[in-house]
Amino acid sequence: MKWILYSIIILGLVVFNQTILTVSNSGAWVPNILMLLTLALVVLVEDLDFLFFAVLGGVWLDITTGLPIGGTTLGLLSLAMLAMWLTNKWLLAQKGPRYFLGAILLGTIFLKTWIWLYAALAQLVGFPIEVWSFVDNLKTLLPQLLMNLLFAYPIFALVDYLVGRMLKNNRHQKFIL
Amino acid sequence: MKFIYSKIFFIFAGVLLVVVIALTLQVKGWLQPIEYVLLQAPQPVIKVVNWVVRPIVTTTKTLTSLKNLAIENNNLRQEVDELRQGQVELDQLKAQNEILKDELGFVSRTPNSLVPCTVLSVDAQGLTDVLNLSCGSESGIEAGQAVVAQGYVIAKIVHVGNLTSSAVLLTNAQQSIDAKVSRNNTEGVVKGSFGSGLIFDLVTQSADVQTGDLIITAGIDPKIPRDLLIGELGQQLTGQNDLFKRLTVVSPIKPYTVDHVFVVKP
C-alpha cells in the first residue's frame, strides 16, 4: 500500500512539473518538490523510504528534463544520505523545523551545483546536452531557494500527515489481525 | 562499526553502480524503451490536468491584461491593413516570378517535408531547455534538424533515439542558428540568451535593420532549410561604437505550452 501511494505521489510530481509549472512559465521560480519530499521523509520516517523517492523520482525527472540519468538521482541520494547522517549524529529531528529549513538551504545549493557539475561531466563523455554556464546556475539559485523555503512547510505538513495516517492504518490492521 | 561496512553504504554503492550502468546505456541509446515508457506513462493525466489548468491560466492572463487589449487591437488592425497591402504586392511579384521561371526553364524548389511530433515533456526549470519529442530515427529525424511550431522555428534536434528525440530551444544560451533579415538578406546569427529570449547578433553596423523586420533562416547549415521564420526584430541592444549590432528577436510562440511540433527535413 505504502509503495503504491509513493508511486502515485511521484507520478503526481511529474504531472505537476509538466503542467502547472510549465504553463505558468515561471522560469527559475520553480520549487524542487522532489528534494523537499525526500528531505521531509529523511526527517520524519526512520526507514529508508526516501531511497524510493530519490531513485524513482530522480530517474523520472532526469528523463523528462533531458538531464543525464544520475543528475537528480545521485544528487538527491547523496543529499539524503548526508541529511540522514546529520540527523542521526545530532538528533536534528528533535530540534525543531528550523533545522529542516537549514537543510533545504544547504540542499538547494548542493543540488544545483551537483546537477551543473554532473551535466558538464556527462557532456564530456558524450551525452547530448547543452550545459548552461555557472553564472546562469547562480542566477537561478536564489529564486529556487526562495520557492523551496516557501513550499517547505506545506510539503513537510503533507508528509507528516501521510506518515501519521499510514502508522494509524498499520496499527488498526494489526489490531484486527 | 565503520561506515563502509554499514547497510546504508552498501545500498548507496549499489544505487551508484545501477546509475552508472543506466547512464552508460543512456549514452549508447539502449535505454530508449524505458525512457519512452516513462515519458508516455504520465501523458493521459497530463492531458486531463492541462485541459483544466490552461483555460484558468489563459482567463487569468486575459483579465490582467484587459486594459491593454484595446490598444493591442488597434495596433493589430493597422498591421492587418499593411499586411493586406503587402500581400497584393507579393501576389503580383509571385505571378511575375512564375512567368519568368517558366521562360527561363527553372526547376521549382521542392517543398520541405515536415514530420509531425508530439511534445512529451519540457524542462520546467529552463536550465536544459529540452523538449522531448515522440518521434525518432524511425521517422527519419536526424540531429541538427529544425523544430517548427505554428510556422516559427523554436528548437534544434540534439539527440535522436529510435522512438524519441530531444530538441533544445533556440532560447537556450548555448544555441545559435544562422539567420538573415527577410527584407534585404542582411545576415547575422540568432543566439539564445539566458532569461532574455533571442538575440540577432553579429550584424555589421552599416546594415539596414529595423524593428519589425522578419528574421528567417539563412540556409547556411545544410540540415536547416532557408526561409523558415524565426521571429521579428525588436529593440536594438548596442550603441554606435560597438563593432556589431545586436537586436532582440521576438517570437510569438510560447515553447513551454506547445503540444505539437513539426521537424523540418531538408
C-alpha grid cell, residue B105: 526553364
ipTM: 0.84
- How many alpha carbons lie under 13 Å from residue B26 in its C-beta half-sphere? 27
- How many alpha carbons lie under 13 Å from residue B95 in its C-beta half-sphere? 5
3-state SS class at B118: strand
The yes-or-no verdict on residue A24 having pLDDT over 80 is no
Interval A64-100: pLDDT, tens: 998 999 999 999 999 998 888 887 776 655 656 677 7
Which of A14, A139, A144 shows the shortest C-beta gap to B195? A139
What pLDDT score was predicted for residue A97? 66
Q: Which residue has the cell 498591421?
A: B79
A99 CA to chain B: closest CA distance, Å?
Answer: 23
B72 CA to chain A: closest CA distance, Å?
Answer: 22
**Cα separation of B166 and B157, whole Å?**
6
For the entire predicted model, the pTM comes to 0.84
**Cα separation of A52 and A93, whole Å?**
21
Which of A64, A136, A144 shows the shortest C-beta gap to B121? A64
Interface mutation vs chain A, best among B127, B137, B165, B177, most A CBs within 10 Å:
B127
Tell me if B23 and A68 make a contact (CB, 8 A cut-off).
yes
Which of B15, B45, B124 shows the shortest C-beta gap to A21? B124
Which of A11, A27, A126 shows the shortest C-beta gap to B27? A126
CA A18: distance to chain centroid? 16
**Cα separation of A105 and B50, whole Å?**
32
Residues pairing with B214 in the sheet: B232
When pLDDT is cut at 50, 70 and 90, the band that residue A177 belongs to is very low
**Cα separation of B163 and B37, whole Å?**
10
The answer to whether residue A56 neighbours chain B at the CB level (below 8 Å) is no
Interval A32-68: pLDDT, tens: 999 999 998 888 887 888 999 999 999 999 999 989 9
User: Which helix or strand (DSSP H or E) is residue B245 part of?
Assistant: strand B244-250
What pLDDT score was predicted for residue B179? 94
The answer to whether B199 and B249 have CB atoms below 8 angstroms apart is yes
Interval A99-148: pLDDT, tens: 778 888 999 999 999 999 999 998 888 888 888 888 888 888 999 999 99
Q: List chain A residues with CB under 8 Å of B174.
A: 130-132
What pLDDT score was predicted for residue B54? 85
C-alpha grid cell, residue B155: 528548437
The yes-or-no verdict on residue A163 having pLDDT over 80 is yes
Q: How many CB atoms lie within 10 A of CB B17?
A: 10
Tell me if A18 and B122 make a contact (CB, 8 A cut-off).
yes
**Cα separation of B231 and B181, whole Å?**
10
Q: List chain A residues with CB under 8 Å of B172.
A: 130, 132
Triad B16, A36, A93: Cα angle to 5° = 95
Interface of A with B in 11-40 (CB under 8 A): 11, 14-15, 17-28, 30
**Cα separation of B164 and B138, whole Å?**
9
Q: List chain A residues with CB under 8 Å of B195.
A: 27-28, 139
Q: Which residues of chain B have pLDDT under 50?
A: none
Tell me if B35 and A63 make a contact (CB, 8 A cut-off).
yes
> In Å, how far are B17, B30, B158, B164, B248 from B35, measured between CA atoms?
19, 10, 16, 8, 36
Q: List chain B residues with CB under 8 Å of A27.
A: 125-126, 195
Tell me if B124 and A30 make a contact (CB, 8 A cut-off).
yes
Interface mutation vs chain B, best among A13, A15, A38, A47, most B CBs within 10 Å:
A15
The answer to whether residue A64 neighbours chain B at the CB level (below 8 Å) is yes
Q: List chain A residues with CB under 8 Å of B196.
A: none
Evaluate the CA torsion angle A135, A137, A139, A141 in order and state its sign.
Answer: negative
Which of B50, B123, B125 shows the shortest C-beta gap to A19? B50
Cβ-proximal residues to A82 (8 Å cutoff; 6+ apart), any chain:
A110
Tell me if A23 and B256 make a contact (CB, 8 A cut-off).
yes
What pLDDT score was predicted for residue B4? 67
CA A46: distance to chain centroid? 17
Helical H segments across chain B, by residue range: 7-28, 32-40, 43-64, 66-104
Nearest to B135 by CA among B15, B232, B23, B264: B264
C-alpha grid cell, residue B180: 538573415
The answer to whether B256 and A23 have CB atoms below 8 angstroms apart is yes
Interval B101-136: pLDDT, tens: 888 877 666 578 899 999 999 887 777 889 999 999
What pLDDT score was predicted for residue A7? 92
**Cα separation of B139 and B263, whole Å?**
10
